[in-house]
Amino acid sequence: MVSVLGYALLGLLARAPSTGYDLTRVLDRDLSYFWSARHSQIYPELARLERGDHVRHTVISGAGPRPTKRYEITARGRDALTAWLVGEPEESIERNPTMLRISSLWLIDRAAARQLLDGVRRRSTDRLSLYRRFAAEFDAEPGSADPSQPAFATRATLEAGIRSQEARLAWCDWLQERLEGSGR
């Protein structure tokens, strides 16, 4: 039994062998816009994946107080990952704090509503420009057009992020018009 976090780690390890620290940089610090995890979750999960023979490690030289471990995916791990990709999707339980706030928008006056909406718009704008910058970098590389390359998949997730933020910004305009339009 592999958890979703386990599949996230397998997906990264299928791209390149990495240390737990490398994986943490991707999932905690960097561009973790569709999955995130802290190192305190990642290290135990790697140990569990190893117990299930989905990854294996070799000790390499490194700067930590403990032995530095370089993990790589096993054949069994790769099989489990590809089986999951086309398998039944988990019920994605949406938990969207922004929309939760919006659902109580009727409680506050127009000025407060504008403030709330401006915050949403600003964060969305920031996200969008970040994604567009990354997407441009990928488009400059050759691998991003080849479906068998990791860069292709990353570019696809970036496109989803871009379109999602564009849609949200258009929604902000729609809502603002409805707010201002009413003689409240």
Partner DNA sequence: AGCAACATGTAAGTCGTTACATGATTTC
Partner DNA sequence: GAAATCATGTAACGACTTACATGTTGCT
Residue 69: CB minimum distance to a copy of itself, A: 22
DSSP letter for 27, please.
I
Q: Which residues pair with 69 in a beta bridge?
A: 59
Q: What DSSP element (H or E) covers 74?
A: none
153 binds, among DNA, a copy of itself, none (CB under 5 to 8 A by kind): a copy of itself
- Do 172 and 115 touch, CB atoms closer than 8 A? no
Residue 92: CB minimum distance to a copy of itself, A: 6
| Contact positions vs a copy of itself (CB under 8 A) | 4, 7-8, 11, 14, 32-36, 78, 81-82, 84-86, 89-90, 92-108, 110, 112-113, 115-116, 119, 123, 145-154, 156-157, 159-161, 163-164, 166-168, 170-171, 174-175, 178-179, 182, 184
Stretch that binds DNA, among 14-22, 109-117, 121-129, 170-178 (CB under 7 A): 14-22
Distance CA 176, CA 174 (A): 6
Stretch that binds DNA, among 33-41, 99-107, 143-151, 156-164 (CB under 7 A): 33-41
141 binds, among DNA, a copy of itself, none (CB under 5 to 8 A by kind): none
**What are 53-59's contacts with CB under 8 Å, separation 24+?**
53/77, 54/2, 54/6, 54/10, 54/80, 55/9, 55/10, 55/13
